[in-house]
Structure 1
Amino acid sequence: MKKNVNFGRVAKISAACAAIAMLGLTGCNDKKQAAAKPEDNTIRIEGAFRGEEEARFQEIVKIFNEQNPQFHVTYEGSPDFEVQIQVETQANTPPDIAAIPQPGTMKRFADAGWLKPLDPEVVAAIDSNYAAVWKELGSYKGQTYGIFHRVNAKSFVWYNKKEWAKRGYSIPKTWEELRALEDKMVADGVTPWTVGFESAAATGWPGTDWLEDLMLRTAGPDVYDKWVNHEIKFNDPAVEKALEYCGEIFLNDKYVYGGSANIVSMNYGDSIKPLFENPPKAMMNRQGNFITGFMQQEIQDNLEENVGVFALPGVDERWGTPVLGGGDQFVAFTDKPGVKEFMKFLTTWDACAPWARIGGALFPHKNQNFNDYGNSLEREIARVLVNASVFRFDASDLMPTEVGSGSFWTGMVNYVTKAEDAKTCLKVIDETWPQ
């Protein structure tokens, strides 16, 4: 999970920078230049896909190469990609294309003049095949630089399909309907939610996702963006309001399995399991599309029969049902022949379908065949993603490390344990924002 590697990422970056300083950039550059002499028809792509993800993306590359024999696309994944790409750009030896996981990195590279704006033909394909929000996320200062391909989504509620059918529960479409359902569950003698914040050194990150989801639903995307960039204080009234929505659930012992005291000690991955015990200990769990991998094996063996999922309902109808998540955007460092063709290829469903069939990935393309997804759960999540008019990246991943993977995590822990109230919690986090 991305959030759990933040500390490791910082350590890797520090170690890499120290190594670069010791070796000297000149020697490093000489080696890179010696290795980077591709043929004119070779298009080099680099990114963070490794292991199974790399194998799946290589299948996408293979399709392009078979359809376009005049070009030869290669892909190289690296565990230290975020450091590597910084070094390569500064040494003027970047790949032709890179898959960038953070919107901020794209903007920094574009600001430095390292990126090539997308060809008008590719931009037209984005306009045809994506909702406007994806073009906005890939644009900077009036130019479009990024194409989104594989993405992930977090704003989902999971439930025990058989148990809900037995009890006659219906999927809530609005926040008020969700509140009514919670009260009905309590009246029926069952617990609405199971929530887990525990994640070793990263304990607290699931709470940040909750608050981010409620910020999008109560304050809207524009205020959310200002919050991420500290254009409003972390303890702005809009943030406090969103946190109080979270508190309606977190701080109500009738609503949370084990009571609020259990939230910090329950592991985020284990928090899905009470839904599928016999009898179930809770009715709902809010988490990203990765959570199916933490369900009991017998549940995973027949997901479609056992598991239901719906989007966390919206609060303000102005913003519909926002989706929180992340994704990789492909950017171009060169405009050599083949780059435009591959970038345009990424906008098509042909560049996505093989991965969708295997599973474990979502795609935002409007012109996609939902039947290509391997199960009904991924099909439903993909539909929500495609139809969302508001999509935003995980806020804590975009904030300074001191906050996003530091005081924000601990602040959510202090809030659910009632060590701090909403005002105090948010004020303390705001005070840690670097000046």
Structure 2
Amino acid sequence: MSALMSRLARCVLALGLLLTAAGCGGGPDHGRVTIMVPWSGKEFQAFYSVIKEFEKDTGIHVDIQVTRALTQQLDAAVAAGAPPDLAMLPSVGAIYKYADTTKEEDRKLQPLDVPTGAYLQPFRDLTEVRGGVYAVPVKVDVKSLVWYDSAVTSPPSSADARTFAAKKPGTWCLGLESGPTSGWPGADWIADILLAEGNGDAYKQWLSGQKEWNSAPVKEAWTAWRNLVGTSVEEASTLNFAEATKGMTAKPPTCTLAHGALSAMGFGEGRRYDFVTSSSTKRLEVSADFVGMFTTGNQSAEKLIAYLAGRKAQQSWVNQPGGNGFSADSKVAYDSSVQRQIARMLRPDSGYTLCFGAADAMTPDVSAAFYRAVLDYASDDTEDPTDLLKNLDDVQNNLGNSQVPSTKLCAKLT
């Protein structure tokens, strides 16, 4: 009876941590795989279609654990010794958190035998830690985009959308609420503004800890964002990001411009929107969804991660209705004309410099503090972010700088 109760207790713990349990057997089930993901809606449906193709091809059953609080759920599952076989890692900072340890026994991510030579930089370098591959990019995004409806508003006269938007205060579709990661739309935007300044060195110095949060360039990026969005910041801290972008589709539109990746916009099918890059520089803020493996001995998990890393799965994924993402493999083709336009900037000879998003490069706890500070700044009457930035310096001093080498964060496509 005691052995049975012990086994039941382990099952209850696993079920409490995860939204979907892979089963409560004594060892790995080699015909099943568990994978933890953060998506919902059309983004999840695009991923699910790829998983169904894998199940049909292999006969392997995939248990998908869906959680919006991925960082917290994954941390809890790993700490309890009940991690999923695979997990989408919410940031490159998480890759280093779980893989960059001096003691092999402390390493939670497992090394992968997956070729990465087809991937563009900086995505390829960011998968490698201490000489081994510990994650693969399965979907990437370009964040440095400003969207508009040409039937409603004229396009910016130049590529500098910041100058264009400053002449039209209050036109932004701005929502910062996004569940456990509320604040990220503003964090991405602030980072995008800093990336566009000068030669881009201030951005890299900030991420590497050489420039404090309260340094002049970083503070100016915060105030530039606040001035840019103008009255659109009102109530933005409690307005859902996806709901805010629907203002472009309202009749009449309640806002005319939106900032961010195509996959985040949720414009809907059959509606054409145009975009410009958010600055006149050829620097783009990018992000990626990486997948890593947390268990050993499950060959089905190894087959799934190899499948997700391959061109066939990635091409299917980005072309699913609602997929709207991109592949780090420049040879993947796109059905959508808008995706093809954006993908041209991801070609190896495009001349663009791709820089990983700031919050994604930070340790997860520092990213969370960044998001909270954005919410506080948006809801505060004062436009001076000094106190918030000093607090972020304290947080970073306590938690330490990101383990991600700053030399890996940007790459020019030549």
1:50 to 1:431, Cα distance in 2 relative to 1, 3 A: closer
2: distance between equivalents of 1:157 and 1:344? Answer: 34
Bigger fraction of residues in helix: 1
The letter of the residue matching 1:380 is: Q
1:172 aligns with 2:158: yes
1:75 aligns with 2:63: yes
SS in 2 for 1:75: strand
1:114 aligns with 2:75: no
**Paired position in structure 2 for 1:390:** 354
1:220 to 1:67, Cα distance in 2 relative to 1, 3 A: farther
1:28 aligns with 2:34: no
Write the deviation string for residues 135-172 of structure 1: whole angstroms up to 9, x where unpaired. 222222332211111344432211122245xx5x4663
Alignment of 1:228-243 (within 5 A): 228=207, 230-243=209-222
Structure whose alpha-carbon radius of gyration is higher: 1
- C-alpha deviation, 1:84, in angstroms: 4.9
**Paired position in structure 1 for 2:325:** 362
**Paired position in structure 2 for 1:16:** none
- C-alpha deviation, 1:57, in angstroms: 3.1
**Paired position in structure 2 for 1:11:** none
2: distance between equivalents of 1:204 and 1:340? Answer: 35
1:207 aligns with 2:181: no
1: distance between equivalents of 2:387 and 2:251? Answer: 40
The letter of the residue matching 1:194 is: W
Q: Is the 8 A contact 1:402 1:432 kept in 2?
A: no
**Paired position in structure 2 for 1:148:** 137
1: distance between equivalents of 2:250 and 2:52? Answer: 43
Match of 1:286 among 244, 255, 259: 259
Alignment of 1:21-420 (within 5 A): 27-28=9-10, 34-39=24-29, 41-49=30-38, 52=41, 55-68=45-58, 72-79=60-67, 82-90=71-79, 92-110=81-99, 111=101, 112-119=106-113, 122-123=114-115, 126-128=116-118, 130-164=119-153, 169=155, 172-173=158-159, 175=160, 178=161, 181=164, 186=167, 193-194=171-172, 196=174, 199=177, 206-218=185-197, 223-224=202-203, 227-228=206-207, 230-243=209-222, 245-246=224-225, 249-250=228-229, 260-265=230-235, 267=239, 268=241, 272=245, 284-290=257-263, 292-293=265-266, 300=268, 302-304=270-272, 307-315=273-281, 320-331=282-293, 333-334=295-296, 336-355=298-317, 356-364=319-327, 365-371=329-335, 375-384=336-345, 389-393=353-357, 395=359, 398-400=364-366, 403-414=369-380, 417=381, 419-420=382-383
What is the total number of aligned residue pairs between the two structures? 368
Over the matched positions of the two proteins, sequence identity in percent amounts to: 18
1: distance between equivalents of 2:26 and 2:196? Answer: 47
2: distance between equivalents of 1:219 and 1:399? Answer: 29
1:407 to 1:384, Cα distance in 2 relative to 1, 3 A: same
2: distance between equivalents of 1:219 and 1:59? Answer: 43
2: distance between equivalents of 1:330 and 1:401? Answer: 20
2: distance between equivalents of 1:144 and 1:273? Answer: 40
- C-alpha deviation, 1:303, in angstroms: 0.9
The letter of the residue matching 1:393 is: G
Structure 1: runs of 5+ lacking an equivalent: 1-22, 251-259
Q: RMSD in angstroms over aligned alpha carbons?
A: 4.1
Q: Is the 8 A contact 2:111 2:133 kept in 1?
A: yes
2: distance between equivalents of 1:385 and 1:49? Answer: 25
**TM-score normalised by the chain length of structure 1:** 0.68
- C-alpha deviation, 1:213, in angstroms: 0.9
- C-alpha deviation, 1:27, in angstroms: 4.0
Structure 2: runs of 5+ lacking an equivalent: 15-22, 399-414
1:336 to 1:426, Cα distance in 2 relative to 1, 3 A: closer
